[in-house]
Structure 1
Amino acid sequence: MASASVMLCSGCFGQKGLETAPVSGVVTYNGKPLPYGRVSFRPEAGSPATGAIQSDGSFSLSTYGNGDGAIVGTHQVSITATEADAGTMAEAAANTEMAVPKSLIPKKYTSFSTSELTAEVVARGDNKFTLELRD
């Protein structure tokens, strides 16, 4: 029993116990809420944080556990929104490979290196971000 407790706690603090803070926000595309997809924040060190975009464009991030936020510091941001996320992807025919889902936002936003989106997560304070995407 004692070993189970040790195993459970060994993952409680994530990698090196890097501090996280709650992060939420909204994603818009051409001025309207983006109703599907995923947001990812990649810190300079440690694990990235991710979260699903809700139907109203809102999101909240998790790094080590549900809703714990993102590691404190500077992040590169990427966003994905595909036909699969939107529920509009055609089903693959029997005995064929599933097609790669088409991006429904400009491809530059899907990569940390090309999105040009950044965010500064602070330990104490407001970590609510509006991520505005445009064609």
Structure 2
Amino acid sequence: MKPVSFFNATLLSLSFVFLSACGGGSDTPPLGTVTGVVTLDDKPLSDAEVTFQPEKGRPSLGKTDSEGNYTLVYTASDNGALIGPHRVLITTAVEAFSDESGGGNDREARPEILPPKYNAQTTLTAQVKPGANTIDFPLKSKE
């Protein structure tokens, strides 16, 4: 009987070590929450994709609502962006998508309405600090 109970105790101990190594700590680096408003010529810009790209690491993404509000998401379970400087890209372009499953999720292409200085040749930057950050982007169609 002793070898079986010793085996069970060892197995149980190893299980706790394994679980604590896998899920006991978070691998998520420090993040700051980021929200803001994107406007184009002083009007809310809806359905724009906002990307914060840090010098190193995973980018954070957001999408503007009908009022131009966005919230950045780092992972499916974590809102925010890495602390530090970021290049910011804002785009309204959408590629066409054909749903071959017949689910009716087809999407038409939408051209870019923003100047390249906000996306392909971005000049936008932002500094994310610990805690809550409000970072607005008042964009102009011509400058």
Note whether the superposition's TM-score is higher than 0.5.
yes
| Equivalent residue runs for 1:45-64 within 5 Å | 45-64=56-75
| Equivalent residue runs for 1:1-135 within 5 Å | 2=15, 5=19, 9=23, 12-14=26-28, 18-82=29-93, 84=94, 101-111=110-120, 114-124=121-131, 126-135=132-141
Q: CA RMSD in A?
A: 3.0
Q: Shift in Å at residue 11 of structure 1? A: 9.3
Cα distance in 2 between the residues matched to 1:110 and 1:7: 40
| Conserved 8 A contact 2:117-2:124 | no
Q: Shift in Å at residue 100 of structure 1? A: 5.2
| Conserved 8 A contact 2:50-2:91 | yes
Q: Shift in Å at residue 99 of structure 1? A: 7.4
Count of aligned pairs between the two proteins: 118
Q: Percent identity?
A: 30
Query: How high is the TM-score relative to the length of structure 2?
Result: 0.68
Larger Rg: 2
Any gaps of 5 or more consecutive residues in structure 1?
Answer: 92-97
Cα distance in 1 between the residues matched to 2:73 and 2:115: 25
What is the CA deviation profile of residues 49-72 of structure 1, one whole-angstrom value per residue up to 9, with x for unaligned ones? Answer: 001111110000011334520000
Any gaps of 5 or more consecutive residues in structure 2?
Answer: 1-14, 99-106
Q: Shift in Å at residue 107 of structure 1? A: 2.7
Structure-2 change in CA distance of 1:62 and 1:118 (3 Å): same
Structure-2 change in CA distance of 1:7 and 1:99 (3 Å): farther
Query: How high is the TM-score relative to the length of structure 1?
Result: 0.72
